[in-house]
């Protein structure tokens, strides 16, 4: 313990940490040891000297990600405690069973582990480090994970952090698997539906688990509707719509590979399915040439239009334009599922963008549902930044 390096904050810069916000911004730091390395575990103390928290140090605007507000060591036992709490919560939520083996095990700050994401696909864990500290702790994390999860629940651990670390990490392809083999392949089961997951080449950890509940809602509203799923990726919403009894489902994604994935997932669940068609196209262009009234249910689930604060205004324009195009084409009595996963855009800002689109469209639009991220993406109440997924279900007359 005594060897843990220490960071001293500037006067009055301890307020947010005292309210358990897990980030210490670089501007709050008064003193740090000269030999401090990125990824080091540091103790953070107030200007007057009182202990505040212990966390991972990193160069950048967030200087420390607090792992614990108690003065404790950050070691395998610590990670075991946090992972065990995370796993117990998912078990208690009923997310771990033969009908559903796809869930987020660790959602960063929401599980008291800033900088770490772990998604489970059957007995494969995909681990993603977003901080240097978590990258360096990967051996401890693996040991802890193996202690927490029964052996048959954890056969493969794939480490996917090349794209999420602040530097080009030297992760050799041989090290991709912290545990398990190259030939591992997961068919994930979500609410009884099957999806092939390509965690190696797929976006994020291979699948968007955060739409599970919203897909289920869409399923219940699909009977006899003509569904258009824009930004379809693995075809999650399409597969649910088909099971729900949609009359037809069209999946559109600009990536030809994503289109193939959606087709494969439809086949995996329904065999040759004449109600489904998929095409590689730009969503804006597709909507432009679509016949007015051709669809009774449209899904808009685009990638984050804004990744940084500077991009907010353009992103809001993008959401407005996209929603307007869909509102102009949807059949009377249609349902629009519209989402934003941009963390820097607030629920109110998104709603205002959709509101503007509704006003311009001249259609009578009512909000039926306000959607968010599911229970395995919990939001630390002291860290509101953890809320990112926003959705509306609109009834369009
Ligand atoms: N709805 C999906 C997730 C969408 S991720 C799900 O439930 O899993 C966003 C997708 O949008 C990606 O697959 C990406 O290829 C696609 N995309 C990005 N820009 C696009 C555009 N202009 N037109 C159509 N698809 C686009």
Structural domain of 26: 6-68
Residues 253 and 180: their CA atoms lie apart, in Å, by 32
| Same domain, residue pair 173 and 295 | no
- Domain end position, chosen among 30, 48, 68: 68
Phi, psi of 162 (to 5 degrees): -60, -40
**β-pairing verdict for 62-68 and 51-57:** antiparallel
| Same domain, residue pair 250 and 375 | yes
Which is the catalytic residue, given 341, 354, 365, 392?
Answer: 341
Tell me, using a 6 A CB cutoff, whether residue 301 lines ligand 1: yes
Distance 292 CA to ligand 1 centre (A): 22
CB atoms within 10 A of CB 152: 7
The pLDDT-based confidence of 134 (bands split at 50, 70, 90) is very high
* Predicted pLDDT at 122: 92
Has residue 126 been placed in a domain? yes
Has residue 198 been placed in a domain? no
| Same domain, residue pair 59 and 112 | no
Distance 259 CA to ligand 1 centre (A): 10
Tell me, using a 6 A CB cutoff, whether residue 231 lines ligand 1: yes
| Same domain, residue pair 187 and 113 | yes
Has residue 197 been placed in a domain? no
| Same domain, residue pair 148 and 222 | no
When divided into structural domains, the chain yields a total of 3
Distance 303 CA to ligand 1 centre (A): 6
- Give me the CATH number covering residue 93: 3.30.750.80
- Give me the CATH number covering residue 376: 3.40.50.150
| Same domain, residue pair 145 and 292 | no
Contact at 8 Å (CB) between 79 and 142?
A: no
| Same domain, residue pair 278 and 353 | yes
As a whole number of angstroms, the longest Cα–Cα distance in the chain is 70
Has residue 320 been placed in a domain? yes
Kindly report, residue by residue over 162-203, the tens digit of the pLDDT. 888 876 666 655 567 788 876 667 789 999 999 998 888 888
| Nearest one of 136, 164, 163, 132 to 65, comparing CA atoms | 132
Atom index in ligand 1 nearest the CA of residue 234 equals 8
2 pLDDT higher than 60: no
| Nearest one of 335, 345, 333 to 369, comparing CA atoms | 335
Kindly report, residue by residue over 262-281, the tens digit of the pLDDT. 999 999 999 999 999 999 99
Has residue 200 been placed in a domain? no
**β-pairing verdict for 51-57 and 41-45:** antiparallel
| Best of 238, 253, 281 for a ligand 1 pocket test (most atoms within 8 Å of beta carbon) | 253
Has residue 201 been placed in a domain? no
| Same domain, residue pair 352 and 372 | yes
* 279 counts as catalytic: no
372 pLDDT higher than 90: yes
Contact at 8 Å (CB) between 310 and 298?
A: no
324 token code pair: 């307007």
- Give me the CATH number covering residue 60: 2.30.130.10
- Domain end position, chosen among 68, 95, 119: 68
| Same domain, residue pair 102 and 242 | no
Q: What is the mean pLDDT of the chain?
A: 94
CB atoms within 10 A of CB 19: 8
Has residue 199 been placed in a domain? no
Kindly report, residue by residue over 63-113, the tens digit of the pLDDT. 999 999 999 999 999 999 999 999 999 999 999 999 999 999 999 999 999
Atom index in ligand 1 nearest the CA of residue 301 equals 1
Atom index in ligand 1 nearest the CA of residue 211 equals 7
* Predicted pLDDT at 169: 60
Distance 228 CA to ligand 1 centre (A): 13
Residues 185 and 14: their CA atoms lie apart, in Å, by 47
Distance 46 CA to ligand 1 centre (A): 45
- Domain end position, chosen among 192, 224, 243: 192
| Same domain, residue pair 251 and 388 | yes
| Same domain, residue pair 121 and 12 | no
| Same domain, residue pair 234 and 364 | yes
Atom index in ligand 1 nearest the CA of residue 258 equals 13
């Amino acid at each position: 313990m005594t060897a843990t390096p220490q960071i001293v904050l500037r006067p009055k810069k301890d307020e947010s940490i005292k309210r358990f916000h897990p980030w210490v911004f670089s501007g709050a730091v008064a003193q740090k040891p000269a030999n401090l390395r990125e990824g080091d575990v540091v103790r953070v103390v107030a200007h007057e000297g009182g202990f505040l928290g212990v966390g991972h140090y990193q160069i950048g605007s967030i200087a420390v990600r607090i792992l614990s507000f108690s003065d404790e060591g950050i070691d395998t036992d610590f990670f075991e405690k946090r992972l065990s709490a995370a796993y117990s919560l998912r078990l208690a939520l009923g997310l771990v069973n033969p009908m559903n083996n796809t869930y987020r095990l660790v959602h960063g700050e929401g599980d008291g582990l800033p900088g770490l994401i772990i998604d489970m696909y059957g007995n494969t864990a995909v681990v993603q480090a977003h901080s240097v500290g978590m990258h360096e702790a990967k051996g401890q994390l693996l040991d802890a994970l193996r202690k927490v999860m029964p052996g048959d629940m954890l056969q493969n651990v794939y480490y996917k952090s090349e794209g999420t670390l602040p530097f080009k990490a030297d992760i050799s392809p041989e090290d991709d698997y912290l545990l398990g083999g190259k030939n591992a392949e997961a068919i994930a089961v979500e609410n009884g539906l099957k999806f092939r997951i390509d965690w190696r080449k797929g976006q994020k950890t291979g699948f968007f688990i955060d739409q599970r509940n919203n897909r289920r809602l869409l399923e219940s509203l699909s009977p006899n509707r003509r569904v258009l799923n824009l930004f379809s990726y693995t075809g999650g919403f399409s597969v649910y719509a088909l099971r729900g009894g949609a009359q037809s489902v069209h999946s559109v994604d600009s990536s030809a590979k994503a289109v193939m994935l959606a087709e494969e997932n439809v086949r995996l669940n329904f065999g040759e399915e004449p109600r489904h068609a998929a095409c590689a196209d730009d969503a804006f262009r597709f909507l432009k040439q679509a016949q007015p009234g051709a669809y009774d249910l449209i899904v808009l689930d685009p990638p984050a239009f804004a990744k940084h604060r500077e991009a907010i205004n353009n992103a809001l324009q993008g959401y407005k334009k996209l929603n307007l195009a869909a509102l102009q084409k949807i059949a009377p009595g249609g349902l629009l599922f519209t989402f934003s996963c941009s963390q820097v855009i607030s629920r109110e800002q998104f709603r205002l963008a959709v509101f503007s689109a509704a006003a311009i469209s001249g259609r009578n639009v009512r909000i039926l549902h306000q959607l968010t991220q599911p229970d395995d993406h919990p939001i630390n109440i002291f860290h509101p930044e953890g809320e990112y997924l926003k959705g509306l279900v609109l009834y369009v007359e």
